Amino acid sequence: MKIIYSELQKLIPALTADKLRLRDDLTLIGHFVSSVEQIENETVFDLEIRQNRGDCLGYYGIARDLSVFYRIPLCLPQSSLPAISSSYRLPINVTAEKQVKRIQAIRISRLQNSASPPWLKKFLNLHQVNSINTLVDLTNYVMFIFGLPNHAFDVSLSTDNLVWELNRHFSQFTTLDGSVLPLPSGILMVNNPTTALSLSFLGGQSCAISHQTTETVIEMAVYDRTKVRQDYRLLKTTTEAAIRLDKDLDPKLIPIAFTFLINQILQYCRGEISSQLFDYYPSPSPDTQISFDPELPSLYAGIDIPVDFATQTLERLGCQLLPNGNKYSIVPPSIRKDINLEEDLIEEVVRFYGYHQIPKNSPIPIANTRDITPKILYLIEKIKDDFTDLGYDEIRSWPLVNQTENPPTAIITQNSINSDFPYLRQSIIQSLRNQHRHYLRLKLVGQKFFEVGKIFWQENSQYIEQYSLGISNPDPKQLSTDIEKVFGDDCPKDYQMSNDSGQYFAQIVLDNITPPQHYSFLTKTNSAIELTSQIITLDANVSFPEKQNPADLIKQYSQKINQNILWQLVVVDEFFDQKTKQFRYTFRASYYNCDDKLAKNTHSQIFGLKI
Amino acid sequence: MNTDLKQVREDAIKQIQDAKNSKELEAIRIRLLGRNGLLNQLFAEMRNIAAADRKQFGANLNQLKTILEKLINDQSVSLKTTINPEGKTLKLQTLTSTSLPKLGHLHPITQTERKINALFQNLGFSIYDGPEIETDEFCFQRLNVPSDHPARDMQDTIYIREPDVLLRTHTSSIEARLLSQEKPPFRAAFPGRVYRNEKVTKSNHFIFHQYQGVAVDKDISLKDLIGVFDLLFKNLYGDDVEVRYRCKYYPEVEPGLGLDLRCFNCHGDGCSVCKGAGWIEMGGAGIIHPHLLQFASIDPRQWRGFAFGLGLDRWVMAKFNIKDIRTLLGGNLAYKPNQL
């Protein structure tokens, strides 16, 4: 959510922190600032609002938090409607009683709507919302200030005979931008008896406000958030209003925000109120009462947080504190729908005290606790060490595969976006085979590698998963020998083995192996390479008058080649030429993450070849 | 490997490679690997090494022994097929490495998990595990995320049998199982693979790795948790690492914390790695929400715990200079055959 610094100062005029300080402080108290920008001579913060803080999807909620953090006063806007002379009662009907928590509405006549004043256009522009006209822009402005969506109807198009209902009659809905949405039954809407006017989270074209609008009904409402979410997801349409109505909003905030909106409209569009205030609020939510021990924030934080700090913080947040022995009975402000437990109050105290005040050098004391490690995890670590000691490389691969080995027992995902890989693997060899083929594409041949991972299947409606070891080697005899070396007397006799284009694979289900009672793994470190292109292998013959030690030659020539492109250097042949009386050595160099040209140039230069 | 062993290794390799005939090679073998040979002497000296270093020294020594055995074996074959001095026949000699046999490698994720595991094991944590096919109950409900909770939006779920059976979206499901299976006090850490229904791209994967931990005891506090993290980050990144703790919402903890690391690329100035923030988000943590304990029939008035969760993939990518997240799961990850 975007926040303009100067707009925030209208609610907390004593706010003087510089923009970087404010960025860091907002982040520390839970409103992560992802960016701070200077746009149109304004400082604009982009905040990530916590999912349980619907109240902070408006300036008002953020300002409340900052006023507590900086211990500065919050200045609320004008809080009363002008005197209403009209006795007219709006003929509004609510049939969606379970879905509507509260509505306030009023009719305003003799409006003079026009283009918005520059400050309003600028405000909306900084919030990346297009300016339409003053009346519409003010409804959006107030939504950003208080986080409460609201709507204006052109009475000449909609009448004021509005009904909040679940759709039964309409098959489609035309939005303000002219898009036509197919309309399922049961969608929460505002209609008149003949026309679909508005969705709970999106206005409609049939009663759109224009410069010619002179009569309007303004409404502000809070709904059952799960219903709004269900609707906008069904219609695949998200709006600023939907984002807010999806959260737990405070019906008790409506009178403050709605009054502010009406006063803004009267100030900028003129006009006069021509109805009584309509206020539908059939079931006011009861206050939450929480027992609070002011010593607990210290115990939870592990540092001393004065009791006075705890109580003053809660008071500043708008909580009512009633002493009850050594504890307090706390009534949180209705806007804070996220405060329901004593732990929520503890978090409030600790976050305003500051996590940075907690020392960083006191980790949980070392304890001789009971070992609850499943023994198979020891087996897995031992196997990894044993196979790497034998020269095998560990791989990890996708447990989801594109084919299944035994369809009747296969487990298939229902909704994976990556629909080419719907099956959970039934054998780890499937994964090793894929890796081998990929290595071949990269021109990596003769690889020795292994993976430990899960395999899956279903049996009697039960989903089964087992740890499994897969090992691969181009030499089947060596593969068998290595398996025997690792498992010794415990070596399974009937492990699965197969081959594919010169590479051999074996699978051993580890659940069938007796695990060690304990194993201390090694904290090995080794490099790993991300190959971005095929390995390029080139040969070169080099002659010497004397016999050479091939290993010394490899060492000597390796040092001349850039290690960032040298994969491996091998001497594959040595030959004594009778005619020249020279010893000729054939080098085979493999290069990686470079193109042909670089590989050939390097090769020619190092081995003295003609290009 | 410490410096002494490195020297021992280099000297031994040179001796083996310089052997001119089988007799000389056998003498070298006895000198190095015989009953009274150099390696056995080094094994005997292990008792003089500090306990903290003994395990690693032993491991390195075992690795050296394996390497030398292989090298002597290879050299023995080579000496039996030396070039015909008359030079009439070609003798093929395949050397698969500059000086050592093909080395095995651990996956970068495993290396990182082990490094973190070692730290937590020293603090008395066990390593734990749980199923990858999970139920809605353990993946969401027992973590204080009922069906209409907004937190579910963040975690697009891959279902096996909607709505009850799914692939776990986070390792917190292991926490839910741990709480339900063990009686406090306990401490456990659990690395694991998780699944989210996302398109696979260079920067996003539908399978990734998390590292989660839980400690339940009496009088656990945020100070214990923050101290553990400081230790962990210093262990991974060195003493100069700067970590920030901020309030953050997670349904399974209260109070909740977000953990940020000062950007290792720009050191706080803002860059593409940290998206201009100067900090990189590393994970979340907090005091276990009382509902989680109640779901597991653990009395929250008697027991308190902390829990944390970290994403491993981006750490590993930064450490191993991997630019494409897909590399971590198969594909283009490879290891130089002769280089650790």
Query: Under a CB-based contact definition with an 8 Å cutoff, are residues B270 and B276 in contact?
Result: yes
Q: Quick check: A394 contacting B, CB < 8 Å?
A: yes
Spatial separation of the C-alpha atoms in residues B241 and B260, rounded to whole Å? 11
In this predicted structure, what is the pLDDT of residue B270?
A: 81
Pick among 3.20.20.80, 3.30.9.10, 3.40.630.30, 3.30.56.10: CATH of A290-355:
3.30.56.10
**How close, in Å, is residue A116 to chain B by CA atoms?**
34
If pLDDT is split at 50, 70 and 90, which confidence band does B74 have?
low
Count of residues for chain B?
340
If pLDDT is split at 50, 70 and 90, which confidence band does A138 have?
very high
Spatial separation of the C-alpha atoms in residues A65 and A32, rounded to whole Å? 13
- Tokens at A361, concatenated: 């050098």
In this predicted structure, what is the pLDDT of residue B109?
A: 97
In this predicted structure, what is the pLDDT of residue A156?
A: 96
Spatial separation of the C-alpha atoms in residues A226 and A261, rounded to whole Å? 26
Residue ranges of A 554-593 with Cβ closer than 8 A to chain B: 554-555, 558, 567-578
Higher pLDDT pick, A219 / B77 = A219
C-alpha dihedral sign at A204, A210, A213, A217: positive
Q: Quick check: A171 contacting B, CB < 8 Å?
A: no
Tell me how many degrees the CA angle A249-A1-B276 measures, rounded to the nearest 5. 150
- Tokens at A84, concatenated: 């209403």
Q: Quick check: A344 contacting B, CB < 8 Å?
A: yes
Residue of B nearest to A573 (CA): B92
If pLDDT is split at 50, 70 and 90, which confidence band does B92 have?
very low
Reported as a single tens digit per residue, the pLDDT across A523-569 is 778 999 999 999 999 999 999 999 998 888 998 999 999 999 999 99
Which residues, at least 6 apart from A373, have a Cβ–Cβ distance to it below 8 Å? B126, B127, B128, B188
**A536-607 has which CATH code?**
3.30.70.380
Q: Quick check: A423 contacting B, CB < 8 Å?
A: no
- Tokens at B187, concatenated: 């401490």
A359–B223 C-beta distance less than 8 A: yes
Instruction: Spell A492-520 as b/e; 16+ CB within 10 A means b.
Output: eeebebeeeeebbbbbbbbeebebeeebe
Q: How do beta strands A327-331 and A188-191 pair?
A: unpaired
Mean pLDDT calculated for residue range A463-488: 95
- Tokens at B145, concatenated: 């995320």
Spatial separation of the C-alpha atoms in residues A394 and A161, rounded to whole Å? 71
B160–A463 C-beta distance less than 8 A: yes
Which of A335, A328, A482, A507 has the alpha carbon at shortest distance from A432? A507
Please name the fold of domain A93-280: Phenylalanyl-tRNA Synthetase; Chain B, domain 3 (3.50.40)
Residue ranges of A 42-101 with Cβ closer than 8 A to chain B: 50-53
Residue of B nearest to A457 (CA): B133
Spatial separation of the C-alpha atoms in residues A90 and A390, rounded to whole Å? 84
Spatial separation of the C-alpha atoms in residues B4 and B137, rounded to whole Å? 55
Sort out which chain A residues have CB atoms less than 8 A from B123's CB and list them: 363-364, 366-367
In this predicted structure, what is the pLDDT of residue B93?
A: 40
The rounded Cα B132 to chain-centroid distance in angstroms is 19
If pLDDT is split at 50, 70 and 90, which confidence band does B150 have?
low
User: Which bin fits A416, alpha (ψ -120 to 50), beta or left (φ > 0)?
Assistant: beta
Query: Under a CB-based contact definition with an 8 Å cutoff, are residues B125 and A377 in contact?
Result: no
Spatial separation of the C-alpha atoms in residues B232 and B226, rounded to whole Å? 10
CB < 8 Å & 24+ apart, contacts of B234-242: B235/B115, B235/B119, B236/B115, B236/B116, B236/B315, B237/B261, B237/B264, B242/B268
Helix ranges (DSSP H) in B19-171: 22-33, 38-45, 51-80, 108-122, 136-139
**How close, in Å, is residue B29 to chain A by CA atoms?**
19
If pLDDT is split at 50, 70 and 90, which confidence band does B85 have?
very low
Nearest to A360 among B128, B227, B257 (CB): B227
Sort out which chain A residues have CB atoms less than 8 A from B228's CB and list them: 363-364
Strand partners, A198: A190, A203
Nearest to A302 among B88, B223, B229 (CB): B223
In chain B the first and final C-alpha atoms are separated, in Å, by 11
How high is the mean pLDDT of chain B? 85
Q: How do beta strands A202-203 and A180-182 pair?
A: unpaired
Query: Under a CB-based contact definition with an 8 Å cutoff, are residues A110 and A214 in contact?
Result: yes
Does A117 sit behind a cis peptide bond, omega within 30 degrees of 0 on the bond before it? no
If pLDDT is split at 50, 70 and 90, which confidence band does A502 have?
confident
In this predicted structure, what is the pLDDT of residue B154?
A: 64
Q: How far from A589 is each of B94, B98, B203, CA to CA, in Å?
A: 13, 11, 33
- Tokens at B322, concatenated: 């991997």
Nearest to B99 among A456, A520, A555 (CB): A555
Nearest to B159 among A302, A346, A415 (CB): A415
Least confident interval from A50-64, A223-237, B166-180, B321-335: B321-335
Query: Under a CB-based contact definition with an 8 Å cutoff, are residues B166 and B158 in contact?
Result: yes
Least confident interval from A510-514, B148-152, B282-286: B148-152
Reported as a single tens digit per residue, the pLDDT across A3-28 is 999 999 999 999 999 999 999 999 99
Sort out which chain B residues have CB atoms less than 8 A from A413's CB and list them: 158-160, 167
A355–B226 C-beta distance less than 8 A: yes
Q: How far from A516 is each of A114, A341, A371, A374, A491, CA to CA, in Å?
A: 80, 45, 14, 10, 14
Instruction: Spell A99-113 as b/e; 16+ CB within 10 A means b.
Output: bbbbbbbbbbeebeb
Helix ranges (DSSP H) in A340-448: 342-353, 375-389, 428-441
Query: Under a CB-based contact definition with an 8 Å cutoff, are residues A438 and B331 in contact?
Result: yes
Nearest to A303 among B158, B223, B334 (CB): B223
Percent of chain A predicted with pLDDT > 70: 100
Nearest to A413 among B90, B160, B226 (CB): B160
Mean pLDDT calculated for residue range A78-85: 87
| Superfamily, domain A375-512 | Bira Bifunctional Protein; Domain 2 (3.30.930.10)
Please classify residue A18 by burial: count the beta carbons closer than 10 Å to its beta carbon, then call 0-12 exposed, 13-18 middle and 19+ buried: exposed
B150–A246 C-beta distance less than 8 A: yes
Sort out which chain B residues have CB atoms less than 8 A from A27's CB and list them: 244, 246
Sort out which chain A residues have CB atoms less than 8 A from B114's CB and list them: 381, 521-524
Here the ipTM equals 0.89
Does B185 sit behind a cis peptide bond, omega within 30 degrees of 0 on the bond before it? yes
Mean pLDDT calculated for residue range A144-167: 97
Helices vs. strands in chain B: H and E counts, helices first: 10, 11
In this predicted structure, what is the pLDDT of residue B79?
A: 62
A/B interface, count of CB pairs below 8 Å: 340
Q: Which CATH class is domain A2-69?
A: alpha beta
A551–B160 C-beta distance less than 8 A: no
B333–A397 C-beta distance less than 8 A: no
* Amino acid occupying residue A543: S
* Amino acid occupying residue A611: I
**How close, in Å, is residue B225 to chain A by CA atoms?**
6
Instruction: Spell B227-251 as b/e; 16+ CB within 10 A means b.
Output: bbbbbbbbebbeeeeebbbbbbbbb
If pLDDT is split at 50, 70 and 90, which confidence band does B78 have?
low
B334–A355 C-beta distance less than 8 A: no
Please classify residue A284 by burial: count the beta carbons closer than 10 Å to its beta carbon, then call 0-12 exposed, 13-18 middle and 19+ buried: exposed
In this predicted structure, what is the pLDDT of residue B89?
A: 33
Spatial separation of the C-alpha atoms in residues B120 and B243, rounded to whole Å? 19
Nearest to A358 among B96, B105, B223 (CB): B223
Instruction: Spell A342-365 as b/e; 16+ CB within 10 A means b.
Output: bbbbbbbbbbbbbbeebebebbbe
Instruction: Select the residue from B63, B107, B293, B304 to test the A interface by mutation, using most A Cβ atoms within 10 A.
Output: B107
Spatial separation of the C-alpha atoms in residues B65 and A522, rounded to whole Å? 16
Reported as a single tens digit per residue, the pLDDT across B266-310 is 888 888 777 777 888 889 999 999 999 999 999 999 999 999 999
Please classify residue A299 by burial: count the beta carbons closer than 10 Å to its beta carbon, then call 0-12 exposed, 13-18 middle and 19+ buried: middle
In this predicted structure, what is the pLDDT of residue B155?
A: 65
Spatial separation of the C-alpha atoms in residues B224 and B228, rounded to whole Å? 6
If pLDDT is split at 50, 70 and 90, which confidence band does A611 have?
low
Mean pLDDT calculated for residue range B85-91: 36
- pLDDT of B83 strictly over 50: no
Please classify residue B92 by burial: count the beta carbons closer than 10 Å to its beta carbon, then call 0-12 exposed, 13-18 middle and 19+ buried: exposed
Spatial separation of the C-alpha atoms in residues A483 and A474, rounded to whole Å? 14
B215–A417 C-beta distance less than 8 A: no
Query: Under a CB-based contact definition with an 8 Å cutoff, are residues A113 and A213 in contact?
Result: yes
Domain extent listing, chain A: 2-69, 93-280, 290-355, 375-512, 536-607
Sort out which chain A residues have CB atoms less than 8 A from B256's CB and list them: 347
To the nearest 10°, the Cα dihedral for B36, B37, B38, B42?
-40
In this predicted structure, what is the pLDDT of residue A525?
A: 86
If pLDDT is split at 50, 70 and 90, which confidence band does A159 have?
very high
Q: Where are the beta strands (DSSP E) in A58-112?
A: 93-94, 100-111
**How close, in Å, is residue B30 to chain A by CA atoms?**
22
DSSP state letter for A572: E
If pLDDT is split at 50, 70 and 90, which confidence band does B72 have?
confident
Spatial separation of the C-alpha atoms in residues A284 and A182, rounded to whole Å? 34
To the nearest 10°, the Cα dihedral for A577, A578, A582, A587?
10
Spatial separation of the C-alpha atoms in residues B293 and A294, rounded to whole Å? 22
In this chain, the answer to whether the domains covering A2-69 and A290-355 adopt an identical fold is yes
If pLDDT is split at 50, 70 and 90, which confidence band does B90 have?
very low
If pLDDT is split at 50, 70 and 90, which confidence band does B56 have?
confident
